[in-house]
Amino acid sequence: MQKLVIIGGSHAFWEISELINDINAIMPKYEVVGVFDDNTALWGTKYGSLAVEGPIDKVKELPADIKFIFAIGSFKTRIIRSDILNRLNIPDERFETLIHPTAKIFSTALVKHGCVIHYGTVVFNHTVMESFIVIGANSVIAVGNYIGRGSLFGSNVTTTTGVKVGSFSFVGSSSSIGENIEIEPGAQIGMGSLILNNIKAGLFVLGNPPKVLSRTEVPQSIIDSWNLQKEKHKLV
């Protein structure tokens, strides 16, 4: 059994646990052995048989055979996730990808490290998903998409061909994204939105047609990394 530690996931513990239980029901594979969270009020709090053991930086002291689940993720923390990963400075390879047994990942799709893909999701052919992506239940990620590092999707999201979703962005539940659209890094798409035009970095848009509600400053390092990755994958 692969031992797993949940990082920052005290609030997501049961969601992650249910996903792992469904995977283990097909073939026993994982055992959760620890939970760490920076919220001092949660230290010692029990989640099942496990107590929150302390701040997330302590995971760097754990043995090399333990892998991690990066369970911090919401529209509020979408950009902070980058800061936390940089602070931990743990190789991506030490983060396990969890894929629900009912999900369909096409053989030509590429899903990298530390991703979490929930019930009923389909990732179509020739799509690339960078590390630390979370996809909610029953989402459809279409052909030839490029999904940037650390991005978050709610449930029932639908993309079409050639979509690019920037690093550490958030796409709300039941949103739809049109063909060849680019959502730049750190953007937030509100739930139920229809996106038929490109969205600039850090914008929060909502509706059909979408309206800009606010803007969050996105670190230049995230934008630069996104542009380099697009060049690497010949998407510019």
Structural class in CATH, domain 98-232: mainly beta
Distance CA 145, CA 127 (A): 5
pLDDT for the residue numbered 38: 93
pLDDT for the residue numbered 235: 77
Distance CA 35, CA 27 (A): 23
Q: Which amino acid does the sequence have at 213?
A: L
At 151-187, the pLDDT tens digits run 999 999 999 999 999 999 999 999 999 999 999 999 9
- Is the pLDDT at 10 greater than 90? The verdict is no
- Is the pLDDT at 1 greater than 70? The verdict is yes
At 116-149, the pLDDT tens digits run 999 999 999 999 999 999 999 999 999 999 999 9
Q: What is the DSSP letter of 138?
A: T
Q: Cis omega before residue 209 (within 30°)?
A: yes
Distance CA 86, CA 143 (A): 31
Pick the CATH number of 2-72 from 2.30.230, 3.40.630, 1.10.8, 3.40.50: 3.40.50
Average pLDDT value for residue range 84-103: 97
Distance CA 15, CA 83 (A): 24
| 65 confidence band (pLDDT: 50, 70, 90) | very high
- Is the pLDDT at 236 greater than 70? The verdict is no
Give the start-to-end residue ranges of the domains of the chain.
2-72, 98-232
